[in-house]
Amino acid sequence: MQIFIDSADVSEIKRAAETGNCDGVTTNPSLIMKAGRDYNETLKEICSIVKGPVSAETVSLDADGMVKEGIAFSKIAKNIVVKVPMTVEGMKACQRLTKKGIRVNVTLVFSANQALLAAKSGAFIVSPFVGRLDDISQPGMELVKDIKLIYDNYKFTTQILVASVRNPIHVLDAAKIGADIATVPYSVFEQLFKHSLTDVGIKKFLEDWEKVPKRK
Ligand code: E4P
């Protein structure tokens, strides 16, 4: 399973990339607002750090506007993927951008039928938002399971990207289900490396190493 960083913070993305475990990046208007920088400039910088897919989100509500924004984003770098929302207009834009050879990530997906339509519209990636479903007491991972089943049934090649990840258990469940990608906030990315027993183990080994007789 690929792991993407869900962030528009260049310093976080650099740190994640240095580990060799960052396969791509997802951004959205809220994340760029947090970063407090120009969107296009930031995307350009992110694309120079991470060679995998970097999602850039459109903000138009009509297909023409989304296509126009998407074409402009696609000129920033080869690895840009254009995000459009799961709406009727979004699906029109998805088909038009896909026909032009621009890869599309259909975002804000909360039902398996929406994911089916995204795949039928030629999406490169579909983004079910598990955390926001959990927030309203609907198990987000059940949605991922349903999408995986439907995509397998019909051999859709659209990649399932588990989004709105809140904790390492979401990542584990995504991997067990066989999702293609999980996009994770940097704080969750860091947690994936850690286990308290690893720290205890390192401490003990170092303490014992100090007691080993060494040749001068
Ligand atoms: C990523 O593509 C999504 O925009 C993001 O994961 C949403 O996360 P949130 O629900 O924490 O805002």
The pLDDT tens digits along the chain (216 residues) read 999 999 999 999 999 999 999 999 999 999 999 999 999 999 999 999 999 999 999 999 999 999 999 999 999 999 999 999 999 999 999 999 999 999 999 999 999 999 999 999 999 999 999 999 999 999 999 999 999 999 999 999 999 999 999 999 999 999 999 999 999 999 999 999 999 999 999 999 999 999 999 998
Using alpha carbons, list the distances in angstroms from residue 21 to 25, 32, 111, 207. 12, 22, 29, 30
pLDDT value for 216 = 82
- Say how far apart CA 208 and CA 176 lie, in whole Å: 37
* Residue 183 alpha carbon to ligand 1 centre in Å: 8
* Residue 157 alpha carbon to ligand 1 centre in Å: 22
Six token digits for residue 47: 């694309």
Residue from 6, 32, 104 whose mutation best tests the ligand 1 pocket (most atoms within 8 A of CB): 6
pLDDT value for 162 = 99
* Residue 55 alpha carbon to ligand 1 centre in Å: 12
Q: Which atom of ligand 1 is nearest to the CA of 55?
A: 2
What are the CB-based long-range contacts (under 8 Å, 24+) for 187-194? 189/3, 189/5, 189/16, 189/21, 189/22, 191/167, 192/3, 192/168, 193/19
Partners of 6 in the β-ladder: 26
User: Which amino acid, residue 170?
Assistant: H
Active site residue 216: no
Six token digits for residue 209: 């190493």
Q: Using CA positions, which residue lies closest to atom 2 of ligand 1?
A: 26
User: Which amino acid, residue 42?
Assistant: T
* Residue 199 alpha carbon to ligand 1 centre in Å: 31
Q: Using CA positions, which residue lies closest to atom 6 of ligand 1?
A: 164
DSSP one-letter string for 71-124? HHHHTT-TTEEEEEESSHHHHHHHHHHHHTT--EEEEEE-SHHHHHHHHHTT-S
What's the pTM value of the predicted model, to 2 decimals? Answer: 0.97
Could you state, in order of their start, the residue ranges of all structural domains in the chain? Answer: 2-211
Say yes or no: CB of residue 163 within 6 Å of ligand 1: yes
CATH entry, 2-211, from 3.40.50.2300, 2.60.40.1930, 3.20.19.10, 3.20.20.70:
3.20.20.70
Q: Which residues contact 155 (CB under 8 A, 6 or more apart)?
A: none
The whole-chain average pLDDT of the chain stands at 98
pLDDT value for 178 = 98
